[in-house]
Amino acid sequence: MRRSQHRRHGSAGGGFTLIELLVVIAVIAVLIALLLPAVQQAREAARRTQCKNNLKQIALAVHNFESTYGRMPMGQLGKFTPGTASGVDDFLDLQFTGPLVQILPFMEQSVMFDRTEEIVTVEEEKLSPSRDYTDSLYYQKDNARQMAFARLPGYVCPSSDPYQSSQGDGVALAMNIHSSFYFGMLYLPAPTDIGRTTYMPVGGYVGESSPGGDASLDRYLGAFRNRRFIRFANLTEGLSNTLLFGEQVGGKWADLDDDGEDDSVTWAWFGAFPQYSGFIPGPHTKDHEAINFNSRHTGIIQFAYADGSVHAISEDIDFRTFVLLSGISDGDTVSPLIQ
């Protein structure tokens, strides 16, 4: 009997060839290259929105403060005579705190504010020059210092991390105004646990004039000043034309430790004092980023206005326009470059 034999033919293997694998990898790489910028842009848009909301909450807190006390929080609790030089002893005998501390109860931080009341107060009779302020610097008081080390997310732009060592060699705990700019206390390297902020009050053009100084510049004073009681009624340019708070992420200042390189600083929220429009934002003053408004958002800086709105101002804003927006009663009207 003849036995037939059937040859079984196996099918070809189903794996990728090397060329096909390389093509797939190339396609995936192209897709990633196309999608990654879109993802990054979406994340930055979300961070920018959160930053805008942070500024909105700060502006609303100022409104609630004004409704409660009939005035805005003071720009700083600094020297009683603005612009005069201060020695170390003078600095230690003043609170040197800013408005971010005063609005704590309106930022759902009443317990924290109560623990700072030994040096920070909103009662007018406790703010006179006749009061004994010996050793009242907030950093010397246990309760206030402990609160100053708190990290408050609402005071920091999510696009900027002021706690990274790369963003600051030190921390500015306070700063004087007008003709004698200086950082009251600066730590190099900075204590990593002290609370920071990226939002600063707007003080106008260059702050209050020194005794015997150029008083004509006082025309451009802002809403926040040293130990001054300012009301919304004093903002005669209109609330929608007046800047309250803006982004300030820190940056270069000067060669503070004589190593031949510019040092950079970030700001402690407890001592956040007014910043001035005389230092135009953006790329114009990169050597002094620590004292001009700036941000990590490409091309813009976000500001809260006195009416509670928040707008992005271009880094290329006209200098005069920016100065006028920062003042409260200069008598000029402006059309701000906002987005």
For the stretch 234-289, pLDDT in tens is 998 889 999 999 998 877 665 555 555 556 677 778 777 777 776 655 544 555 66
Q: Which 8-state DSSP code applies to residue 186?
A: B
Q: Point out the least confidently predicted range of 77-81, 197-201, 305-309.
A: 77-81
How far is it, in rounded angstroms, from Cα 207 to Cα 220? 8
Q: What is the pTM of this model?
A: 0.76
Q: Is the dihedral of CA 157, 162, 167, 168 positive or negative?
A: positive
Other C-beta atoms lying within 10 Å of the C-beta of residue 123:
8
Amino acid at 89: D
How far is it, in rounded angstroms, from Cα 246 to Cα 292? 10
How far is it, in rounded angstroms, from Cα 190 to Cα 70? 38
pLDDT tens digits, one per residue of 302-313: 999 999 999 999
Q: Are strands 243-247 and 310-314 parallel, antiparallel or unpaired?
A: unpaired
Q: Which residues contact 70 (CB under 8 A, 6 or more apart)?
A: 231
**Residues linked to residue 304 through DSSP beta bridges, in sequence order:** 245, 310
Residues 294/282, Cβ–Cβ less than 8 Å: yes
Q: Point out the least confidently predicted range of 155-164, 265-274, 321-330.
A: 265-274
Query: For residue 101, which phi and psi values (nearest 5 degrees)?
Result: -75, -45
Read off the tokens for 212: 């015997």
